[in-house]
Amino acid sequence: MNLDSKKYFVDSSFKKFDQDKWLYLLNKLMPLSEFVEFNILIEEEFENFVKEYKNDLIEIGKKKNKVYASGSYARFRLSENIKEFILERDYPDWNCLFLEDISLIADEVEILSTITHENYVILFITVPEANEYNKQGFDFKFFLDLEELTK
């Protein structure tokens, strides 16, 4: 992945009825991703989830160089079971779910991130890619550089 010209762009215009836009992004970016990360909101429900998806769990911990690091996070292999779990939920379902702030990871870079309580959908893309998305009804604006994440 060429990181030189890519930056994080945010769209904060998603509404609860923007399921088509959300599915478009997931279907476009999941095939490029190796892992998914979630922030853990409700520990007890997460423990039950892990029992069902333990074969896909990679790690649990705290992370600072995540677009939105909040408390503990969990990383899973983006298996068919995990993809199905993600696709079964509508965009607004991710706000206050026991797992939230979904991030898709490719080459150890978050290519899609969310900050669900802010209604932020964040992509790691170039300016021309942001312009193309915006022509399709998105509203991506510059958010931050990759270097700012690693400070």
pLDDT at 100 over 70: yes
Please, how many CA atoms are within 13 Å of residue 52, restricted to the half-sphere of its CB? 7
pLDDT digits (tens, 9 = 90+) for 120-147: 999 999 999 999 999 999 999 998 776 6
Gap between the Cα atoms of 149 and 151, Å rounded: 6
95 pLDDT more than 80: yes
User: Is 70 exceeded by the pLDDT of residue 151?
Assistant: no
- The rounded distance, in Å, linking the Cα atoms of 76 and 60 is 9
Confidence (pLDDT) at 17? 66
Model-level pTM greater than 0.95?
no
* Contact between 110 and 104 (Cβ < 8 Å): yes
Sorted by sequence, the CB contacts under 8 Å of residue 140 that are 6+ apart come out as 9, 10, 11, 123, 125, 130, 133, 134
pLDDT digits (tens, 9 = 90+) for 50-86: 999 999 999 999 877 788 878 899 999 999 999 999 9
